[in-house]
């Protein structure tokens, strides 16, 4: 039986995913939520400062590199240290921005003012002119180091610092990054991912990526949608990501094929910044539309939520600038009765960041992406960090709850400003 978007959201609420959500259900045919309520939700404080009795002044912020891996180290004037893992794939391109335009903004400041620091870095100098990944990947890199520092000082996990831990067991989906293989090859690969982790949900890619309706192989998309349901069974949740492949008519056509197999959501049917076109696709379909991976603007997220452009909201924790900004988006989505499913790339400790984010927001989606083993040498006393029966346990120790191998940190060399 196919679920309408209204039924999808109601079933999510009934399952307890949105049980802590304020506001009302926002579905097709209802009036948009009051924009003022979205603004209030976004402007509410994020960091819980009551855990700190005295200032945590940031004395230094350094970028370190060991091979292909980057680390950001924040040190307080009292000698406390927080080491965070940024998005390596992007840091190799953007590190001068971190060193010249972002890190200096945090040095000499009280880390307890994190909310204001995140807002202020946007306006420092002409940083706002770099809106997008170039700026926000670097802000996220600084923020994870500061959050680790604060967690170590307070003895609290990131989830506790950012509102309180609501869940530690995270239901995950496994995603394929493949395009250009046959439907049979792709389904075999999805089966392998499921066998490795016991995942109850998978995500596969459609179209050719920003391809103006061209498929990566003729007929691959149509064949894959049908074969995935046939081979993986009715109990498997299917998510599909078009990565902006389609115009409105083709996007609707593919969406109806996904509806026919009762897929869970349909991600980025149109190019990510074609909001009006995406809304046309959303209005014509019942399957929830997922959107937000490439978004860099809180105001555009608000417009997307107000206008029901998408029904699953997906800020990327690195591309969008970190936890504070992403939690603001999650709260706006919650106000509208929408789930938030963060996007995260396979770099550094991104999957760990996603788990902590999901642990503390009021409105997580049903499943969240699990990228696999950490790419950094870490130890964790409170979680295996592995997926078993489709569930990963979020660590509960201070900060992000893991210890990066001290030898690995010691061998990392400072990256100098250029």
Quick: pLDDT tens for 32-87.
689 999 999 999 999 999 999 999 999 999 999 999 999 999 999 999 999 999 99
Residue intervals of the chain classified under CATH 3.20.20.120 are: 5-44+161-403
- Taking phi first (over 0 means left), then psi (-120 to 50 degrees means alpha), and beta for anything else, what does residue 213 get? left
Quickly name the fold that domain 5-44+161-403 has. TIM Barrel (3.20.20)
Residues β-bridged to residue 55: none
Give ranges for CATH 3.30.390.10 in the chain. 50-155+405-413
**3-class DSSP state of 154:** helix
Cβ contacts of residue 373 below 8 Å, gap of 6+?
Answer: 385, 386
pLDDT tens readout for residues 376-400: 999 999 999 999 999 999 999 999 9
pLDDT in tens, 336-390: 999 999 998 878 899 999 999 999 999 999 999 998 777 899 999 999 999 999 9
The predicted pLDDT at position 21 comes to 35
pLDDT attached to residue 186: 98
**DSSP code at position 251:** H
Nearest-angstrom CA–CA distance, 2 and 7: 9
pLDDT of residue 16: 42
Q: Residue 117 to residues 85, 188, 382, 403: CA-CA distances in angstroms?
A: 19, 47, 31, 26
Cα separation, 163 vs 221, whole angstroms: 41
Q: How far apart are CA 64 and CA 43, in angstroms?
A: 33
Question: What DSSP designation does 238 have?
Answer: E
pLDDT band for position 6 (50/70/90)? very low
Check: CATH 3.10.20.30 for 50-155+405-413?
no
Give the side-chain half-sphere CA count within 13 A for 91.
Answer: 29
């Amino acid at each position: 039986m196919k679920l309408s978007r209204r039924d999808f959201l109601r079933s999510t609420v009934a399952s307890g995913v949105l049980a802590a959500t304020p506001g009302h259900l926002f579905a097709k045919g209802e009036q948009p939520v009051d924009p003022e309520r979205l603004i209030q939700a976004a402007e509410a404080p994020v960091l819980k400062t009551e855990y700190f009795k005295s200032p945590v002044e940031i004395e230094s912020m350094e970028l370190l590199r060991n091979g292909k891996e980057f680390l950001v180290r924040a040190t307080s004037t009292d000698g406390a240290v927080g080491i965070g893992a940024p998005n390596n794939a992007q840091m190799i391109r953007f590190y001068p921005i971190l060193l010249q335009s972002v890190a200096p903004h945090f040095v000499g400041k009280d880390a307890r003012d994190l909310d204001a620091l995140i807002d202020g870095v946007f306006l420092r100098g002409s940083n706002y002119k770099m809106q997008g990944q170039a700026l926000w990947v670097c802000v996220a890199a600084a923020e994870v180091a500061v959050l680790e520092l604060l967690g170590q000082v307070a003895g609290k996990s990131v989830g506790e610092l950012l509102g309180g831990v609501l869940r530690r067991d995270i239901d995950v989906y496994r995603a394929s990054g493949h395009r250009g293989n046959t439907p049979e090859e792709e389904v075999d690969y999805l089966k392998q991912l499921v066998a490795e982790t016991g995942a109850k949900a998978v995500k596969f890619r459609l179209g050719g990526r920003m391809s103006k309706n061209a498929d990566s192989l003729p007929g691959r998309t149509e064949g894959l949608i049908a074969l995935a349901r046939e081979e993986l069974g009715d109990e498997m949740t299917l998510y599909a990501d078009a990565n902006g492949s389609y115009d409105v008519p083709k996007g609707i056509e593919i969406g109806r094929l996904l509806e026919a197999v009762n897929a869970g959501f349909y991600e980025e049917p149109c190019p990510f910044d074609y909001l009006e076109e995406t809304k046309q696709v959303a209005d014509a379909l019942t399957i929830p539309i997922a959107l937000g991976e490439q978004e860099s603007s809180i105001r555009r997220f608000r417009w997307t939520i107000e206008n029901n452009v998408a029904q699953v909201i997906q800020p990327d924790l690195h591309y969008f600038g970190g936890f504070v900004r992403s939690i603001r988006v999650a709260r706006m989505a919650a106000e509208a009765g929408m789930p938030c499913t963060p996007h995260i790339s396979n770099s550094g400790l991104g999957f760990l960041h996603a788990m902590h984010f999901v642990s503390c927001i009021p409105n997580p989606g049903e499943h969240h992406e699990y990228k696999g083993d950490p790419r950094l040498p870490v130890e964790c006393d409170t979680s295996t960090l592995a997926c078993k029966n489709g569930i990963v346990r979020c660590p509960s120790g201070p900060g992000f709850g893991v210890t990066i191998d001290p030898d690995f940190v010691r061998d990392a060399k400072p990256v100098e400003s250029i």
